[in-house]
Structure 1
Amino acid sequence: MGATTQRRPVIRLRANAEPQENQPPLFRHDRPDVLAVEEPLEIRVDGEQFSVTMRSPGDDFDLVAGFLVSEGMVFEHDHLVAMRYCSGLDADGHQTYNVIDAVIRADVPRPEHATARQVYTTSSCGLCGAASIEAVTRASQHAIRPPRRTVSYDLLARLPDLLREGQAAFDRTGGVHAAGLFTADGELLCLREDVGRHNAVDKVVGWALREGRLPLDDTVLQVSGRASFELVQKASMAGIPMLAAVSAPSSLAVDLAQTSGLTLVGFSRGTGMNVYAHPERISGLPPKR
C-alpha cells in the first residue's frame, strides 16, 4: 500500500517580531517537512475504466465503494461483489496500488449516466465532468426519512472538536480534510481523511456500504471544510439526514438540502453555528422571535 505522507525539504521563513541590533529581520530554517501524499486512483467497473480521481492513498476500497454509491451505481451491501487492485507499476516495477476494479452484481441496473462519467476528477471536485446537472441531482435510493430522533444543540456544537481529535493525518501534515460519521448520541462510527473533502465523505459512505449500514438514519456527518453541493448530494445518496460543516455552504447546497429533507449546518465553530435547512432535527433551539 502506498504511503499517506512523505518528507520533503522546506525552507521555513519567519519574521523577527522584535528585531534588535545584530539580529536579522527574517529567520530561516532549512529542514524536512511532512506532506500529505496525493496520487491518482483509476476506478474501473467490471473491467472498464469509469473514473480517475486524485486522492490520499489509504482506505481505497471504502473510497471506491462510496464513490459508486454517490454515482448511483450501487446502494446495497451485496450489489458490490468484489474489489481488487489491478496491475499498476511505477518506473521501478513496484506495485502502485493506484488502479481498482470493482465488480458489480450482474442484475443491478446501471444508471443512464454511467457511460458518460469516464472523466478525470481532481481532489477538489467530486462532480467534475458529470454529463448534466440533472445527472448530478439524481434521485437517491435511500430517501432521507422524517426525523425519529433529534440531535441536541450542545452535542452538535462539540462535533468539530471530536472530529479534530481523530485527525491523525492532519496532525502530521496540516493538509487534509476529514469527515466523521456520528450517532445522534455523539458516538463516532467512522472517520476518514483525504486531500479531497469529497473523497473523505466517499470513504465514510463506502465504509457504511461495506458494513451493510445503509441507509444511515439518525446519524450526523461532520466535515472539516465547507458544505458544497457535492457533499450534500453524497450525504443524501447515503440517506444521511444531517450534514454539519465548519465553514460555509453554497446556495446550491442549501437548495438541495431543502428539497431532499437534509438538515444543513454551517459555520459550526465553538458555541455558534448557522442552520440553513430543516432545523427540526436539532433540539435545544430557542423559539423563533
Structure 2
Amino acid sequence: MKSSVQHTSILKVGNDTHQEVDLLAVEEPMEIRLTYGPVDGRQQSSISVTMRTPGHDFELALGFLFSEGIIQSYEDVISIRYCRGGDQSEKQEAAKENIVRVVLSPDTRLDLQRLQRNFYTTSSCGVCGKASIEALDTLCSPPRSDKFSVNVKAVHQAPAKLRAAQLVFNHTGGIHAAGLFDKDGKLLLWREDVGRHNALDKLLGTSLIGNKFPKDCFLLLSGRVSFELVQKALMGGIAMIAAVGAPSSLAVQLAHQYDITLIGFVRDQKFNIYSGSHRVALEEKTPTFT
C-alpha cells in the first residue's frame, strides 16, 4: 500500500537557517475503470482520473460513483480491485495501484452520455459540477428531514476535533478533510485528501460499504464549499454542512433549493448561516430564512 506522506529535503530559513527533512502530502493520479453491461455483452470504460492522496482508494472510487448517481448502493458492485497482475516490474506494479477497476452488477444500468461531463478533476478544484442545478432533479431525493438540530457549541468545537484527528495534516499541514459529527458534536467518521471533493467521496464510500449512512448528523469541511461538495452531500442524504471556509454562490443556491443547512467561516467562535438556520439551536431568537 502506498504511503500518504513523502520525505523531502528543505532549507529552513529563519534565525537559524539550516537544512532538515520535511514531510509532504502525496498527490498522485488515480484512474477509475468500470466493467458494466449485461452478462453477454460486458463493456469496459475509463470514466475518471482524479489527483488524490493514496489511501482509502476503493472508498474514493465508490464514493465518486455513488455521488455521481452511477451506483445506488454497494450491492450494485460485484468487485473492486487494483489493476495488478502479470509479469511486471516493481515500478509497473506500483503504477497499477493508481488504477482502480470497479465491476458492476449486470443489472446496474450505466448511461455514460447522460452524465454529460468531463471526468477529469484536479486537487485544487473539480471540473465536476452539473450543467445546472436542475440537472440534479433526476438524481437527488426530496429535501431532507428536519428532525434534528445542532447547538452552537457543537459547531464551534467541530473544527478542533477534526483537526486533532487529521494525522496526515499534522505531519504535512497540506491536506483537506471531511468529517461527520452527530448532533451532540461527536466525531463519527473522517477522511483526508489533497482534494476537498476526494475527502468527501472517501467519506461517502466508507459509509456505502457498511451501508451505514449516519442519520441526524452534520458534515464539516476543512476548506471552502463549492457546488460539487453540496451536490455530493445531497446525494449522501446529509442535511447540514459546516465549513471553515466560504461557500460559493451556486453552493448557497443549491442548499436553498434542497433545504440543506449551510454554514461557513466556522472559526474564532463565529460562523455564518447561509441556509437552513432552523437546524441550528441558537441561544437566542434570531431571524430564520423564508
TM-score by shorter chain over 0.5: yes
Partner of 1:254: 252
Partner of 2:183: 184
Whether the 8 Å contact between 2:178 and 2:196 is mirrored in structure 1 is yes
Query: Residues 224-263 of structure 1: matches in 2 within 5 Å?
Result: 224-263=222-261
Partner of 2:49: 52
Asked whether 1:84 is paired with 2:73, we answer no
SS at match of 1:160: helix
Label 1:87 to 1:32 Cα distance change in 2 as closer, same or farther (>3 A). same
Label 1:91 to 1:114 Cα distance change in 2 as closer, same or farther (>3 A). farther
| Structure with the larger helix share | 2
Output the CA distance in 2 between the equivalents of 1:114 and 1:32.
Answer: 48
* Residue in structure 2 matching 1:61, options 39, 58, 68: 58
Whether the 8 Å contact between 2:80 and 2:100 is mirrored in structure 1 is yes
Whether the 8 Å contact between 2:176 and 2:192 is mirrored in structure 1 is yes
1:117 is displaced (CA, Å) by 4.2
Q: Deviations over 1:97-149 (max 9, x none)?
A: 100011222222335645644532111223x1667336864544444422111
Partner of 2:17: 28
Label 1:276 to 1:199 Cα distance change in 2 as closer, same or farther (>3 A). same
* Comparing 143-152 and 62-71, the one that deviates more: 143-152
SS at match of 1:95: helix
1:28 is displaced (CA, Å) by 2.0
1:29 is displaced (CA, Å) by 1.3
Output the CA distance in 2 between the equivalents of 1:85 and 1:121.
Answer: 20
Whether the 8 Å contact between 2:63 and 2:203 is mirrored in structure 1 is yes
Whether the 8 Å contact between 2:260 and 2:275 is mirrored in structure 1 is yes
Query: Residues 56-205 of structure 1: matches in 2 within 5 Å?
Result: 56-87=53-84, 92-96=91-95, 97-111=97-111, 113=113, 116-117=116-117, 119-126=119-126, 128=127, 132-133=131-132, 137=136, 139-205=138-204
Output the CA distance in 2 between the equivalents of 1:228 and 1:199.
Answer: 13
Output the CA distance in 2 between the equivalents of 1:259 and 1:90.
Answer: 52
Partner amino acid for 1:119? F
Partner of 2:38: none
Whether the 8 Å contact between 1:44 and 1:101 is mirrored in structure 2 is yes
Q: Deviations over 1:213-233 (max 9, x none)?
A: 24x431111011111111111
Output the CA distance in 2 between the equivalents of 1:166 and 1:142.
Answer: 31
Whether the 8 Å contact between 1:72 and 1:111 is mirrored in structure 2 is no
1:95 is displaced (CA, Å) by 2.8
Aligned residues: 276
Partner of 1:12: 12
Output the CA distance in 2 between the equivalents of 1:115 and 1:148.
Answer: 33
Partner of 1:267: 265
Label 1:132 to 1:6 Cα distance change in 2 as closer, same or farther (>3 A). same
Structure 1 alignment gaps of length 5 or more: 17-26
Structure 2 alignment gaps of length 5 or more: 36-43
Output the CA distance in 1 between the equivalents of 2:134 and 2:101.
Answer: 23
Output the CA distance in 1 between the equivalents of 2:78 and 2:188.
Answer: 24
Label 1:131 to 1:28 Cα distance change in 2 as closer, same or farther (>3 A). same
CA RMSD of aligned residues (A): 2.2
Whether the 8 Å contact between 2:128 and 2:228 is mirrored in structure 1 is no
Output the CA distance in 2 between the equivalents of 1:151 and 1:6.
Answer: 38
Label 1:151 to 1:95 Cα distance change in 2 as closer, same or farther (>3 A). same
Output the CA distance in 2 between the equivalents of 1:90 and 1:225.
Answer: 39
